[in-house]
Amino acid sequence: MPEGLQVFNDSGFIQIDANYLNLELKQRGSFNLAGSNTANGGSTSSGLSVTVNGESPVIAIQSTTFCCAYPLSQNGNSFTFYIYNGDNQACSGEYFVFDNSSADQASDSGFQVFNPQGRLVFDAGKKYLRVLDYWQVDDNPGESISRDYPGKSVAVVMCDFGYRYVVAPSPADPTNPNYAFLQSWLNCSKTQGSKLLIGDRATYTNAFAQKDPGMVTTSEYPSRWLVVDVTNY
């Protein structure tokens, strides 16, 4: 960069220059969800859909019970996410949708950085994705495990489902190879101000399902979470 502005952090890393690129907050909203009842095959699954227009949006949530948000569908530039309540208690929360940053100005005042082509690349008035942590949960978190980010209001993007399941012969028909008894659990997140909790919540319990030849008896996958700072957002 022969001329212009460069901003470094305490580690000497260039945080802002003419090549700055980030996701910015495009939409936010609140939600209230009834509790789910996962017994007997997930008899009551509580959640809601959120549809946004964009290029490559991600959704972050804050929730008072263990929830997760994931994409349901895409139709052109229309993306639909689903926020699922993994607890049997009612919950409330907020969602934040981030997407590719535009060249539009947040306002006519404030701190702005442009690239050599005159395109706005940073605007202090915009609400960018502020990452606090990238957390991979390898082991079963059980009731919950947590991390705290003092002074921050945290929300979380689920980057990978974490789940495990166990398949056993059906108790009702144990000799029938075509049916199985299934229990499965899903990692969900819950926020308490600056604290993020990850917990394991049942999804299908005592479910009877048609067995597939490719099915294995036990499987476990880690979850991955992008923890973001939405303080004052």
Can you read off the two tokens belonging to residue 4? 């212009």
- Report how many residues bind another protein under the rule CB under 8 A: 57
Please identify, among the stretches 25-33, 64-72, 141-149, 170-178, the one whose residues bind another protein according to the rule CB under 8 A: 64-72
| C-alpha torsion 61→64→65→66, nearest 10 | 30
DSSP conformation letters of 85-128? E-SSS-EEEEEEEEEEPPS--S-SSS-EEE-TTS-EEEETTS-B
Q: Give start and end residues of each alpha helix (H) in the chain.
A: 39-42
CB of 182 to another protein, least distance (A): 6
Burial 173-182 (b: 16+ CB within 10 A, else e): eeeeeebbbb
Write the interaction track for another protein spanning residues 117-156; mark x where CB under 8 A is met and - where it is not.
-------xx-xxxxxx-x-x--------------------
Fill in the amino acid letter for 147. R
**Residues 211-230, interacting with another protein (CB under 8 A):** 212, 214-216, 219, 221-222, 224, 226, 229
Interaction of residue 80 with another protein, rule CB under 8 A: no
**DSSP conformation class of 4:** S
CB of 22 to another protein, least distance (A): 5
Residues that bind another protein (CB under 8 A): 7, 9-16, 20-23, 56-59, 68, 70-72, 110-111, 124-125, 127-132, 134, 136, 157-161, 163, 165, 167, 182, 184, 204, 207, 209, 212, 214-216, 219, 221-222, 224, 226, 229, 232
